[in-house]
């Protein structure tokens, strides 16, 4: 056991935004151990006030470059709930296809570019090319397929333009859908290759467990491994499903000194959201290939090793691809129809909830009789994981205090990265120094 440990990781790399890890151990006693999120709070809600219900999804799509489709979908669903707008089955299926494209984009990005370097012991994906060129090329190929998929359904890779209250402004042709389906079928061997590569270094996934509450969507009619429909559940909620409108009673947001982001808690002092939460609440509903992938990694329902969230994401890659192939079959069998999208303003309040790649996301909006937004509230998944990361730290550190300081630091960093946090999701401007 070390008498003294001092770790100050400012702006942890390979996560979205800023987060700090602070550890002070003096004479074997932990004096300070914090997961800090020091970013200035962002007032996205204020950005949409005064805007028309028709523009909300476009504005919020700019909150994040990774989850832009997810934010747009949550907003669109909330607007439709507020205004009592129903959408067709075709729109519903196309939106789910759109959503799955982002799940694949984000998961491949996290598993392949952000987490893999930890397992291979390289600082980033760039030096990994020299060590495992084929693996990196396969990851890039899968990521590229996901991007092109988003382009087709959302009208753009990032910041979708086809979503509108009541439907979609543009739909793909049947020929394009057939091509997409073939591309997805052809991508399956690539996903298997990525899984093999991750499996080859899976021994480097730290062995750590801490039982916690896992919160996600759950869809019972029909039973589905859901990212889009259903209500809110958790392993502590005895199988009960809460309507999404009650999300404030789940999140119970509160303020802590060490973070500018609000923390959340439900039945315990913290809960986790994300791929592992979805898996723990819905694993039996995964597609056959996804179940096989979970089995290969020994990932089982009830897993409480947060590092396995990355593996759960990989499992979900198989699910979204396999399920999308089926959805395209259903769409093509029925034949795509051009649908007229109409909506009219009215006063109302509504909630929208979808699973972002990194966990459950809530949007609330209220509109006046002219359809102008008068109130908005957004609760992002990363914010819901902050308290859980802190609680993980508090159990993990005493278990690894006898390890070299650099290993302690790496394990804490890897833990944060496993949650795939997206801390600020907003600006990205460059800061350069010229050589000449």
26, 5 in Cβ contact below 8 A?
no
Q: Does 188 bind other proteins (CB under 8 A)?
A: no
Could you tell me the smallest distance in angstroms from the CB atom of residue 12 to other proteins? Answer: 8
* Shortest CB 201 distance to other proteins, Å: 18
The single-letter DSSP state of residue 325 is H
Residue 11 sits in the site that holds other proteins (CB under 8 A): yes
Measured from the CB atom, is 221 or 427 closer to other proteins?
427
Asked whether position 156 contacts other proteins by CB under 8 A, the answer is yes
Does 180 help bind other proteins (rule: CB under 8 A)? yes
Q: Give the per-residue SS3 of 226-246.
A: CCCCCEEEECCCCCCCECHHH
If binding means CB under 8 A, how many residues of this protein chain bind other proteins? 60
Q: Considering the complex, state which of residue 159 and residue 278 has its C-beta at the smaller distance from other proteins.
A: 159
334 binds other proteins (CB under 8 A): no
Q: Please check whether residue 392 is in contact with residue 306, taking contact to mean a CB–CB distance below 8 angstroms.
A: yes
Helix 309-334 × helix 174-200 angle, to 10°: 160
Which of residues 203 and 432 has its CB atom nearest to other proteins in the complex?
A: 432
Under the binding rule (CB under 8 A), the answer on residue 436 touching other proteins is yes
337, containing H or E segment: none
Residue 196 makes CB contacts below 8 A (sequence gap 6+) with none
Largest Cα span, the chain: 71
66 binds other proteins (CB under 8 A): yes
The correct pick among 152, 205, 251, 379 for binding other proteins (CB under 8 A) is 152
Task: Mention every residue, 6+ apart, whose C-beta is less than 8 A from residue 91.
Answer: 167, 168, 339
332 binds other proteins (CB under 8 A): no
Nearest to 363 by CA among 275, 214, 355, 272: 355
User: What 3-state DSSP class applies to 269?
Assistant: coil
Residues of span 29-48 touching other proteins by CB under 8 A? 39, 42-44, 46-47
Tokens of 72: 């747009």
204 C-beta neighbours (distance < 10 Å), count: 12
Buried b (16+ CB within 10 A) or exposed e, 261-297: bbbbbbeeebbbbbbbbbbbbbbebbbebbbebbebb
Per CB under 8 A, 147 contacts other proteins: yes
* Candidate ranges 21-29, 236-244, 349-357, 425-433; the one touching other proteins (CB under 8 A): 425-433
- CA–CA gap between residue 353 and residue 225 (Å, rounded): 15
Taking CA atoms, 66 is separated from 32, 148, 260, 377, in Å, by 33, 15, 21, 20
Q: Is residue 55 within the footprint of other proteins (CB under 8 A)?
A: no
- For position 375 contacting other proteins by CB under 8 A, the verdict is no
Least Å distance, CB 87 to other proteins, is: 25
Please pick, from the candidates 144, 170, 246, 267, the single residue that binds other proteins as defined by CB under 8 A.
144
Q: Is 310 in the site for other proteins (CB under 8 A)?
A: no
Mask 346-365, x = binds other proteins (CB under 8 A)? --------------------
Is 42 or 210 the residue whose CB approaches other proteins more closely?
42
Contact set with other proteins (CB under 8 A): 11, 13-18, 39, 42-44, 46-47, 59, 62-66, 68, 109, 113-114, 124-126, 129-130, 136-137, 140, 143-144, 147-149, 151-152, 156-159, 176, 179-180, 183, 422, 424-436
């Amino acid at each position: 056991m070390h008498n003294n440990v001092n770790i100050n990781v400012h702006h942890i790399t390979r996560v979205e935004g800023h987060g700090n890890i602070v550890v002070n151990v003096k004479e074997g006693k932990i004096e300070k151990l914090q997961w800090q999120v020091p970013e200035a709070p962002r007032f996205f809600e204020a950005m949409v006030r005064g805007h028309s219900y028709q523009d909300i999804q476009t504005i919020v799509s700019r909150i994040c470059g990774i989850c832009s489709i997810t934010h747009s979908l949550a907003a669109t669903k909330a607007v439709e709930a507020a205004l009592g707008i129903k959408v067709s089955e075709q729109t519903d299926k196309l939106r789910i296809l759109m959503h799955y494209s982002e799940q694949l984009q984000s998961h491949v990005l996290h598993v392949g570019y952000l987490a893999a370097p930890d397992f291979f012991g390289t600082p980033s994906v760039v030096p990994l090319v020299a060590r495992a060129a084929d693996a990196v090329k396969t990851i890039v190929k899968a990521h590229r397929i996901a991007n092109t998929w988003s382009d087709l359904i959302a009208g753009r890779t990032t910041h979708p333009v086809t979503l509108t209250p009541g439907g979609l402004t543009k739909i793909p042709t049947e020929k394009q859908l057939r091509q997409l389906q073939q591309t997805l079928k052809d991508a399956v061997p690539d996903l298997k290759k990525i899984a093999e590569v991750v499996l080859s270094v899976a021994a480097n996934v730290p062995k750590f467990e801490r039982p916690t509450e896992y919160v996600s969507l759950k869809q019972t009619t029909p039973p589905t491994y859901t990212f889009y429909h259903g209500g809110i559940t958790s392993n502590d909620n005895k199988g009960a499903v809460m309507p999404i409108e009650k999300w404030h009673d789940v999140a119970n947001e509160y303020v802590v000194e060490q973070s500018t982001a609000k923390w959340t808690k439900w039945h315990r002092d913290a809960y986790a959201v994300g791929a592992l939460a979805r898996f723990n609440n819905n694993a039996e509903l995964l597609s056959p290939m996804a179940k096989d992938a979970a089995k290969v990694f020994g990932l089982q329902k009830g897993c409480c090793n947060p590092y396995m969230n990355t593996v759960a994401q990989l499992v979900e890659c198989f699910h979204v691809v396999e399920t999308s192939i089926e959805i395209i079959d259903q769409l093509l069998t029925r034949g795509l129809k051009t649908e007229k999208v109409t909506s009219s303003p009215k006063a109302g309040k509504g909630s929208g909830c979808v699973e972002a790649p990194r966990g459950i996301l809530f949007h609330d909006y209220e509109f006046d009789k002219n359809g102008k937004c008068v109130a908005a509230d957004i609760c992002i998944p990363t914010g819901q994981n902050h308290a859980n990361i802190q609680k993980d730290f508090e159990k993990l550190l005493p278990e690894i205090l006898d390890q070299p300081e650099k290993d302690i630091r790496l394990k804490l960093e890897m833990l944060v990265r496993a949650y795939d946090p997206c801390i600020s999701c907003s600006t990205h401007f460059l800061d350069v120094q010229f050589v000449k």
